[in-house]
Structure 1
Amino acid sequence: MMKKLITIILFTATVLLPQSKVFTLEEAVQTGVAASKMLSISKSKIKSSEERVSEINAGRLPQLKLSAGYTRLSEVDPFEIKLPIFANPVRIQDVILDNWSVKVGITQPLFTGNRLSGMKAAAEKNLEAEVSEFESEINEETFRIITAYFNLQRSENLTEIISKNLAVIARRLDDAKNLFSNGMLTKNDLLKIEVQKKNIELKLLEANDNLLQARASFNLLLGLDINYGSSAVKADADVKLSDYDFKKLTEKALSQRNDLLAAGKRLAAGEEMVSANSSGWYPEVYLFGNFYYSRPNQRYQPVKDEFKETWDAGVALSWSLWDGGATSSKTSQAEQEVSKAKENISLLKDRIALEVYQSYLQYKTAWEKIQLGKIALEQSMEQEKIVESSFANSTATSSDVVDASNSRITNEIDLLNSVISFRLSEFRLLKAAGSSLREK
C-alpha cells in the first residue's frame, strides 16, 4: 500500500510539475515584487498623480489659442444716404457678404488669489503621499510573499516528516506481522499498528494536497505558472531570538511607517486645498494679447473686402463680488477634510502602536513555544525508545508503542510549526515597526 501511495504522489508530481526551482527567500521576494500586479496598480497611481501636477503647472503658463472662421451673411441693401445736391443716393459702404477671420490669442495669469499655487502644492503633496503609499504597498506585498514562502516551506517539511514516519511504521508493521505469525503478538495488537499506518497514510495524502495548494499560491504571487515546481529551502530549526527594544520599535514605527507618512502628506495637501478654495474671495488678474487677420477687418474704415492685420494687448481683472456663498462652502468643506485627516492620523498612530505591541508579544511567545517544543520532542523521542525496548521484551503493548510514536510525530510537527511561526512573527514585527522587509 505504501509503495502504491508513493507511486501516486510521484506520478502527480511528474505530471503537475514540468519545471522546478528551489527558491531562497531573497529570490522569492525579488521575483514576486517584480511580478506583482498590486504594485503595478500602485505605479499607475503615481503616474496619474505626476500627470495631475503637470496639468496644474500648465495652468500657470501662457495659454496660446488659435481660432478661425468663415461666415456668409444674408443679402441686405448697401449703406447709402441721400443728399439734396445729388440726384442719386451716395453709397457709403458696399455690402460684404463673405467674412473671414483668423485670431491668435495669448493669456497669462498674473494673480489668481493663490488658486493655482494652492492646487499645485496640494497635487505635489498628494504625489508624495502616493510614493509613500507605494513603499508601504511594497512592504505589504513582500510580507505576503514571505508568508507564502514559509507556508510552502512548512508544507514541504511536513510532507517529508510524515513520509519518513510512514516508512518507520511500515517497517514496524512488518516486524509485527512476523511476531504475529510466530504467535508472539495478538491479532488486536497487529491491527492497532495497521490502523496507525493507515492514519499516517491519510495524513500524507492531506499533507501532499496542502503542499500543492501552498505551491500554487506561492507561484501565483511570483507570477509563475500555477503548476510550476517551486520549492523552498528546508526549514532550519536553529533560530535565534533577537533582542528587540519595544520602545524603540514603537518610536521607529511612529516616525518611519510609510502609511503614516502618506497620511501626513494627505493632511498637508488638504491644508493647501483650503488656500486654493478660498481664492474665490480675491480678484484674478490676467495679461492678454491678440493678433487678428480678418477679411474684412472692422477696425479699418471704410471696410474693404480684403485681409488686414491688427492686434491688441492689455491687462484684465475679474472679481466675483458675490457668488451665493459658494466660496465659503468650498472652503468649509476643505477645512472639514483637514479636520478629518487629523483625526485619521491620530487613529492610525493608535493602531500602529497596538500592532507593534501585539507583534512584539507574538514574537516572544513564538520563541517560548520553540523552547517548549524542543523539550517535548526530546522527551517523546526518549519515551518512544523506552516503549519500543519494553515492547521487544514483551513488557509493553502495541498500544503503548502506537501512543508513543504518535506523540513523537505530533511533537515533531508542532516544533516545525513553531519554528515557521517564529520566523513569520519576526517579519511581522519588523513590518509593524516600519522596517523595509526587502533589506532583511
Structure 2
Amino acid sequence: MKKIKYLIVLLMGTTVLAQQKPLTLQESLEIGLKSSKEIKISESAVTSAEAKLTEISSNMYPQLSVGFNYNHLSDVPIQFASPLFSSTGDPINALYASATIEQPLFTGLKLLSLRNAAKYGKEAAMVQNTQTMNQKALAIHTAFWNLYKSERLVDVLRENIKGLEKHLKDTEEFFKNGLATRNDFLKLKVRVSETRTKLIEAENRLEIARAVYNKNLGYPLDQKTEIMVENLDEISKNYDYNSILKEAINSRSELVSTKYKSMAAEEKITAAKSTWFPQIAAFGSFNYLKLDGTQLLKSDWTNFWMVGLNVKWDIWDWWKTSSLAEQAEQQYNQIELSKQILKENIEIEVYKNYLSMQSEASKVDVSKLRVESAEENYRIINDKYETQLATSTELIEADSELLDARTKLITSYINYKIAKVYLEKSIGRKIY
C-alpha cells in the first residue's frame, strides 16, 4: 500500500505556491485559445467569408441607383432653326437627374451558383476555424504535459539528492569510525556531484519547457507560471481501431472542410457556364431633364419615366466561356483528388497514433513494475549498507536503478498522455 501511495505522490508531485494561481489544463486551454493569433486569423477568415456571402447575395436583389448630370455650353458655334429644334444663340445649360432600379431576372444560374459557392466557402472557413483551434489546443496540451514532466523530474532528482546527501553524511561518519573506506566515501561524493549536475540540466530543461508553455498561452517567456494537475486518470486502452477510423473519416475537420470546398467548386462550374445563356434584367427609371438656351424643351423641369428589359447574349467569345468552365472543372477535380489523398493520410495518422498510444500505455505498466522492483531492491541494499553488509558501489547501483525507474515512469506516463491527445485529435474529436 505504501508503494502505491508513493507512486501516486511521485506522479502528482507538489507545486510550490507562487503569487500567481497555478493553472489547470482546462484553464491553460482557455487562456491559450483566447490569446492565439492563429485563431484570430482563422476567425477573421470566417468574417471575411460571411462578408463575401453577403456581397454575392446582394446581387440577386433589386439595385437602386441615382444620378445627376450637368453640362454647360458657353457659345453655340452654329445657329440654326428647324421645326424640331432651334437655338437662341445663348449659352446652353443641360441638367439631368435620374433614379433607376434594376432587377436581374435570369443570369443562367450564375448568381444562384455563386451564392451557393460563397455559402459553402463560409462553411469551409468555419470548419477550418475549428481545425485551427484543435491544432492550437494540441500545442497547449503538449506544452502543459512537457512542463509537468519537467517539474516532476526535477522533484525526483531533488529527492534523490537528499537521500544521497544523507548516505554521504552517514558514510563520512562510518569512515571516521573506521567502518567504511575512503573509497566508499569518495564514490558517494562523486555520485552526489553527478546527480547535482543532472539536476542543473533538468532545471534548465524545466525553464525551457516553461517558456514554451508561456508562449502558447501568450505570456512573457520568462514568466514564472505554475501548473496544477487536478487528477490523473487511469491508463485506458479501450479503443477499437475500426470504430475510431470510421469516426475519423466522418469527423475530421479537414475532410469536412474539403467536402464544402468541393461543393463550392461544383457550383463555380455552373457559374462559369452561365454566359452560354442570355442575361435578362428588368429596369425602371424616373428622370428629370431641364435645358436652357434651346427651344427643344421649355426652360422648366421635365420629368418622364421608363420601364423595360435588358437582354444580353454573348454569341461568340472565342472560347472564353469554355475555357472558364474547363478551369472550374479542373479545380473541382483537383479538390476531389486532394480529398482522397487526405483520407489516405488520415488513415495512416490514426493507425500510427493508435499504435503509439497502445505502446505508451504498455510502457506505463512496465515502468510501474520497474519502480516497485527498484524500490524493494534499494530498500534491501540500503538496510545492508547501514550494517556494512553492502558496499557503496552496490548502494550507488541500487540508487541509480531506482532513479532511472522513477524517471522512466514519469516519462512514460506523460508520453502516454500526449499520445492519447494526439489520437483524440486524429480521430476528429475536440480536445479543448
Matched, 1:104 2:99: yes
- Residue in structure 2 matched with residue 3 of structure 1 by the alignment: none
Q: State the alpha-carbon separation in 1 of the partners of residues 68 and 19 from structure 2.
A: 66
* Contact 1:157–1:234, Cα closer than 8 Å, also in 2: no
- What secondary structure, in the 3-state scheme, does the structure 2 residue paired with 1:306 have? coil
- Residues 426 and 92 of structure 1: is their aligned pair in 2 closer, same or farther, counting only changes over 3 Å? closer
How big is the shift at 1:49?
0.2
* Contact 2:22–2:228, Cα closer than 8 Å, also in 1: yes
- Residues 331 and 145 of structure 1: is their aligned pair in 2 closer, same or farther, counting only changes over 3 Å? same
- Residue in structure 1 matched with residue 193 of structure 2 by the alignment: 198
- Residues 202 and 167 of structure 1: is their aligned pair in 2 closer, same or farther, counting only changes over 3 Å? same
Matched, 1:351 2:351: no
Choose from 345, 352, 363 the match for 1:369.
363
Offset from partner CA, 1:20-39 (integer Å, 9 cap, x none): 22222222222222222221
Q: State the alpha-carbon separation in 2 of the partners of residues 427 and 362 from structure 1.
A: 11
- Residue in structure 1 matched with residue 412 of structure 2 by the alignment: 418
Map 1:20-31 onto structure 2 (within 5 A).
Answer: 20-31=20-31
- Residue in structure 1 matched with residue 161 of structure 2 by the alignment: 166
- Residue in structure 2 matched with residue 324 of structure 1 by the alignment: 318
- Residue in structure 1 matched with residue 70 of structure 2 by the alignment: 70
Q: State the alpha-carbon separation in 2 of the partners of residues 424 and 42 from structure 1.
A: 25
Q: State the alpha-carbon separation in 2 of the partners of residues 297 and 331 from structure 1.
A: 53
Offset from partner CA, 1:132-190 (integer Å, 9 cap, x none): 11112222222211111111111111111111111111111111211222233232222
How big is the shift at 1:116?
0.8
- Residue in structure 1 matched with residue 40 of structure 2 by the alignment: 40
Q: Which stretch of structure 1 is more off in the superposition, 260-269 or 20-29?
A: 20-29
Offset from partner CA, 1:68-126 (integer Å, 9 cap, x none): 222222412564359xxxxxxxx933244222222222221111111111110000001
- Residue in structure 2 matched with residue 114 of structure 1 by the alignment: 109
How big is the shift at 1:437?
1.6
* Contact 2:100–2:286, Cα closer than 8 Å, also in 1: yes
- Residues 241 and 360 of structure 1: is their aligned pair in 2 closer, same or farther, counting only changes over 3 Å? same
* Contact 1:274–1:334, Cα closer than 8 Å, also in 2: yes
How big is the shift at 1:394?
3.4
- Residues 345 and 297 of structure 1: is their aligned pair in 2 closer, same or farther, counting only changes over 3 Å? farther
Choose from 248, 255, 260 the match for 2:250.
255
- What secondary structure, in the 3-state scheme, does the structure 2 residue paired with 1:229 have? coil
- Residues 395 and 410 of structure 1: is their aligned pair in 2 closer, same or farther, counting only changes over 3 Å? same
* Contact 1:122–1:272, Cα closer than 8 Å, also in 2: yes
* Contact 2:68–2:97, Cα closer than 8 Å, also in 1: yes
- Residues 181 and 128 of structure 1: is their aligned pair in 2 closer, same or farther, counting only changes over 3 Å? same
Offset from partner CA, 1:294-320 (integer Å, 9 cap, x none): 22199x963333322122111010011
Q: State the alpha-carbon separation in 2 of the partners of residues 152 and 321 from structure 1.
A: 69
How big is the shift at 1:235?
8.4
Q: State the alpha-carbon separation in 2 of the partners of residues 161 and 105 from structure 1.
A: 81
Q: State the alpha-carbon separation in 1 of the partners of residues 249 and 377 from structure 2.
A: 50
Q: State the alpha-carbon separation in 2 of the partners of residues 133 and 221 from structure 1.
A: 20
Identity in percent: 29
Q: State the alpha-carbon separation in 2 of the partners of residues 139 and 151 from structure 1.
A: 18
- What secondary structure, in the 3-state scheme, does the structure 2 residue paired with 1:230 have? coil
Map 1:234-273 onto structure 2 (within 5 A).
Answer: 234=229, 239-273=234-268
Q: Which stretch of structure 1 is more off in the superposition, 278-287 or 30-39?
A: 30-39
Map 1:249-328 onto structure 2 (within 5 A).
Answer: 249-296=244-291, 302-328=296-322
- In structure 1, what residue type is equivalent to 2:25? L
Output the TM-score relative to the length of structure 1.
0.89
- What secondary structure, in the 3-state scheme, does the structure 2 residue paired with 1:93 have? coil
Q: State the alpha-carbon separation in 1 of the partners of residues 305 and 329 from structure 2.
A: 45
Matched pairs, number: 416
* Contact 2:150–2:202, Cα closer than 8 Å, also in 1: yes
- Residue in structure 2 matched with residue 123 of structure 1 by the alignment: 118
Q: State the alpha-carbon separation in 2 of the partners of residues 264 and 123 from structure 1.
A: 14
Matched, 1:385 2:376: no
Structure 1, gaps ≥5 residues long? 1-12, 83-90
- Residue in structure 2 matched with residue 59 of structure 1 by the alignment: 59
- Residues 373 and 237 of structure 1: is their aligned pair in 2 closer, same or farther, counting only changes over 3 Å? farther
